[in-house]
Structure 1
Amino acid sequence: MLRDTWAEINLNHIRGNLIQIRETLSNHVKLMAVVKADGYGHGDLESAQMAEQAGADVLAVAYLEEALRLRSYGITLPILILTPIHAEYVHLAIEHDLMLTVINASWFKEMRKYKPSSSAKKLLIHVKVDTGLGRIGIQSQKEWDELVPWLTAADIVVDGFYTHFATAGKADTTFLELQTNRFMEMMDWSKKSGLYIRHYHCAGSAAALRFPKLAMDMVRIGAAMYGFYPEKLVHSVKLEPVLSLHSKLMQIKKLNKGEYLGYDNSYQADEEQWIGTVPIGYADGWSQGMQNTEVLVNGQRAKVVGKICMDQLMVKLPGPCAEGTQVTLIGRQGEEEITFAELASHIGSVSQEISTSLTARVTRKYKDVEEAWTHWGKRTKQKPFKKAVM
C-alpha cells in the first residue's frame, strides 16, 4: 500500500450476512445476490465468491461488461443482467450463459438480426415490469401482449418476471402495497398468456427482510449483503457492516482564533485549536457534501472543517496528536462508531451511494481472504484470481 488511506473489507461478514438472510427464507425460495457496481464498492469478484459460499443461487449485475468480467475470472453461477443490453451483443449473452432483462418487443425484433441461427443454446430472459418506480419496464397489458409472441419462440426461455419497489425501506407501506397489487395484476396477465415462467420476483433487500410473504420464487439481495438495511424496521436478522474506511494524520498544525483554512476561507477558527490534515478527498469519493461530518481520532469524534479538497481534508482535533495517528472515517474506534447510515443521513442519500463512490484510489484490504481462496481453489482447481491483503 503506497498511501495512508484504505478500505478494510471483512469477507466473512458478506458471507455471514447472506447466510442469515438465507435462513429466513423458505426452502423453495432462491437467493439472487446482487454484485453490481464492483460489489457496491466492496469488490465484485470477492462478493460473488462469498455469495456462492453462502448458498446464493443466482448473481445479478447491472451491465453486460460486469457479467463478462465475472465469467472471465471463473464465476459459474447463473447471472442476470438487470439493464437491457444492446441487441447486437446477444451472442455474448448466449456464449457466456447470461440471462437478460427485456422491457419491450422491439428489442426482440432487433435481436433476431444478430442471434446466431446455428446456436443450439436457448436465450434466457427476465421480463421487467414497472409497477411504480418509473425507471424501466413494461407498464400496460398492450405492451405485454406485444411481447408474448416473441416469448413463445422455441429458442427463448422466460426464466423470470419481476419488478422493483420504490419505498420498501420506508415505514409507510402505502405505496409498496399499491405496487404489490399492481404486480399481482401483471402476474395475472402472464399466467393467462399460457407461458411457463420459472420465477416471479419482486423483493429486494428491504422488502425481503421486512415482508417474507413477498419472497415469491426468489429474492434479490444487494445492499443487505453488505450490511445496509433499515435496521429499525427489521427484526429477523442482525447484519454486520462489511466495509470500514481509514486514513492517517499527515500533518498537524495549530490554528489561532480568527484564522482561516480551506478553499474560499471556508472555515474560521473561533478559538485556538489543533487541525489535522488527512489524505483523502473528493477524488477518492469523499465528496464536499461530507463537510461538517465527523471522523474518529484516538477514539474521539473530530469534525471535518473547511471545504473538502480533491486529495485532502482537514479535521478539528480534540487536542494535539501525533502525525501518523489513525483516522477512521467509517467504522469503530473504542466506544465510538461512524456508520454509513449516519453519513448517508448527512448527505440526504443512502449508504450504498457512499460505498460505490469510493474510487480505485482507495486501496481495498480484504480480511479472511485466505479462507476464501482455499474454498475457491478446492472448488475450481484454479489459482486465486485477485490479490488481496490482510
Structure 2
Amino acid sequence: MTIGIVIVAAGRGERAGSPDEGPKQYRPIGGRPVIAHTLETFLKWQRRGPIVVVIHADDEALYAAATEGLGDKETVVTTFGGDTRQRSVYEGLRALSGTEATHVMIHDAARPFIDHDMLDRIAKAFDEGVDAVLPAVAVTDTLKRGGSDGLVHETVSRNGLYAAQTPQSFLLSEIRSAHEKAAALRRDDFTDDAAIAEWAGLPVAIVEGSVDNIKLTVRRDIAMADEKLSSKLPADALPDVRCGNGYDVHQLVPGDGVTLCGVFIPHDQKLSGHSDADVALHALTDALLATCGAGDIGDHFPPSDMQWKGAPSRIFLEHAAKIVREKGGTIMNADVSLIAEAPKVGPHRDKMRENLSSILGITIDRCSVKATTNETIGFVGRREGIAAIATATVVYRGEQHEPLSL
C-alpha cells in the first residue's frame, strides 16, 4: 500500500480579505506561508507516498516562492486546478493516478495544523481494510434551525453529528471513479469528497479528527493562526529583523527607452549598462544581499562575464531572493526610490510594484516604488543618469527557536 497525497491549493480565498493580500494559502503565519506549513507536515510524514499540489494557473511564482527551501520538495508534483474545488481535486487525482499510489489523502492547503497523529489514525484504518476514511470531530455546540422569519424553529439534536475535516482519504481507484462519474453527470454541487463517495455508494468510516485542524477561511482565522504560532517563541526571544540598503546609478545615453523595475518606458534616452541596466532592480538586489552578508551584485554577476550582457535584471533579483530564503529569511518589505528628471514613473508605478511582488513572492502591499527629481542639480538634474536607492527588510529565523512571525 502506498498512500499518495493531494493538497488542494487552487482557491482564491475570497472571504479572507482584500485580493491585494493574495490567496490565503500564501499568506504568512509564523513567518512562513500557510501552504509551507501544510506541505512540510506531509513531507515529514514517514508513510507518505507521492505528493501532488493543485495550484491555480496564476500562482506558479507564488507557489515556488512559498515552498522555497522545503526538504524533499523535488518529490512533489504540481498541477493546475479548475474553477471549483471539486474540479481541482479531480485534476489532482488524475495526476496522482500516474504514480505508484494505491490510496490517497485529499487535504485543503488552508488547514496548516494537520498533525502526524491524525495521519497515522487514517493510515491505520487503511491497514485494517477500510477504503474510505473521514476525519471528523463530534459537534459540541447546541444546534438551532432558523427560519426565513429570523426566529428559531427548532433545536436540532447533536447526537451522531460530526464536523468534517481533511484529509479525507480513499482507495485511489474508487474515489477517482466516483469523481469521473460525477463529472460525466455534470454534478458539481458536492461540498467535499466524502459526499461524492457517499453518493457513489462507498461506505465512509469516521476516525477521530483534531480540534486544532481548523480551516483558515476569513482574515481573522489567519491572524489567530499567526498569533498561535508566534506564541511558541520564548518570552526572551528577539526577532532577527535585518534591514539592507542598496544604491545604484547608470548613465543615460541616446536611445529609445529605459527599463525600471522590469517595465520598459519609451524615452529619448536609454540606460547604459552590461545587462538591461535596470538601476532599480540592481539597487534592490544589493539591498537583499546585504541582509545576510552575501556580497553585492557584482560578486554574483560580474560585468566581465559576457553571459549577462543584455540580461534582464529580474534574474539578479530572483537570485538574491533565493539566497535570502536559503539562509532562513522571510522577505517582509521592498522599497525603491528612483531619482530622475525623466521619464515620469507615476503612470508605471503599479506595474512596477506588481513585478516586485511577483519576483519576490510577497504581496503587493509590501512593495513600494517612489520617484523624485533632483531639482535640476548634479548629474541627475542634467539628465546624465538615473539613480536608485533601495531598502529591503528581512526576518531571519534562528536555530534556537521556531520561525518568527510576520
| Same fold (TM > 0.5) | no
Instruction: Please identify the structure whose Cα radius of gyration is greater.
Output: 2
Could you state the TM-score of these two structures normalised by the residue count of structure 2? Answer: 0.27
